[in-house]
Structures are given as structure tokens and as C-alpha cells.
Amino acid sequence: MKPARRVAPIAERSDRYMDKSTHEPPIVLETGSAPAASIIWLHGLGADGHDFEALVPELRLPPRPALRFVFPHAPFRPVTINGGYVMRAWYDIAMTENGIEQNRNHILESEKILQSLIAEQKQGGIPCDQIVLAGFSQGGTVALLTGLHYPEPLAGILSLSAPVPFAKSLMAEIHHANERVPIFMAHGTEDQMIPFSMAESAREIMTAHGLTLTWHEYATGHSVVTDEIRDVANWLKQVFSKDVVK
């Protein structure tokens, strides 16, 4: 496979969902010319779009179809769980006596950001059914919610070490277009940030609802490990099958 190459952002977007002073266009990497599919990958709390750039060559994906990876940056906002410190975050998150509390309004704001990125890919010639929404931790939360809400069929949803947002109510909100979308979820059994038991509970709810879920667990903390990268790559190969290449 040829090394990923950096290209200019596909389109400059008018983004009213974040402060203009903090807005940056996403990082875009392509694995070859004329990409036939896209992966929009959202980073975790306190990171930025550069966080998963190095993952692209590590996946060792085949040269065809050529893929476009889009790594957006979250807006800056105070984060309660970190003492109100301002950092990049897709949404505010707090630890309460009832466990992790996620700011639903912020998640819905980030959903709109991700929807705008999907629209850019479509405008750039990538059909919706060849777009994967992916993310780690908070990014995985937003990817999962956006994908299950989205009114057109997507290629897949990939959510790593992420707290499933409002799992029971989300099941009632799934758009019929993505009732059978392939979903890859993975979690570390030693995760100290997002408890493994929380992930297992969400998995049971999603499986009972009949979602097309591929589940992996690893003996690790809140991180991505080598075996996980291999499993993600194999799943992406299945999602972007040779049928994409005409």
C-alpha cells in the first residue's frame, strides 16, 4: 500500500457550532488517488485531529479501494470531570453519584458537526453508503449516536472505548435507514476511565435490540492496542469490499 498522503481540506465549511477562534479545518489523508470511500474519525477528550493520523499506515489496508480519512478537531469547552479546565471536547462530561453523566445538548451539537462533515464527503463524490463514522472515547460516542440517527444508509460505525450515549433511549431513536448498519465496538477490560461493566451493559442492550454488532474486548486500559488495530483493519476490509471497486 502506498503511504497515506496529506491533502488540503475538501471544502471550507461555515461552522456555527464552535467558536470561530478555535475552528480549524479537519486533517484529511488519502491512501491513493480518487478515493472511493471515507472514514470520518473523531478523537477523544483533550486530544485533537492529529491523534489518530499515525493509525492510517498501521492499518495496512489494501490499496483498493483508496480511502479518505477525515480527522476533525473538537471545539474547546470547559470539562467538568477535569475541574472545568478548557480543552478540546465533543461534549462536557461529569462524574456523579450515579456514574458518568454526559451532556446531551453538547452531544447533539457535535452530531450536527459530524453531519456537516458527512455532507462534505457526499459533495466531494463519496456516496453515503461508503462512509464509515469512527471514533475513540468521546469521539466514538458521537460517531455511534450520529450514525444510528442518520437518515441515509452508512457503510458502518466504529466506536472504541466509548460510553454509549443514553443506550436505552438511543435504541428507540434509531433511524430505519441504519437499523442494520455494521457496528464495530471494542473496549478494554482494565479501562479505568469508562468502566468495562458500562460497556458490557450497553452491548447487551444493543444486541437485544438486534443491531449488527461486532464486539471485541482487550486486556488493556483506556487505549488502543495492536490486536485492536488488526481487528479494526479486518472489519474495514469487510465493510469496504471489492464490490466498491468498479
Residues annotated as catalytic (active site), given as ranges = 137, 191, 222
CA 126 to chain centre: 17
- What is the C-alpha to C-alpha distance for residues 245 and 164, in angstroms, rounded to an integer? 33
N-to-C CA span, the chain: 19
Distance CA 26, CA 9 (A): 7
Q: Which amino acid, one-letter code, is at 196?
A: F
Contact 90, 42 (CB under 8 A): yes
Closest Cα to residue 138, out of 206, 68, 69, 222?
222
Q: How far is CA 72 from CA 42, 139, 148, 203, 212, in A?
A: 6, 10, 20, 27, 26
Q: Is the peptide bond before 165 cis (omega within 30 degrees of 0)?
A: no
Instruction: Indicate if the alpha-carbon torsion angle 157, 163, 165, 171 is positive or negative.
Output: positive
Hey, what amino acid is at 214? T
Q: How many CA atoms lie within 13 A of 120 on its CB side?
A: 23
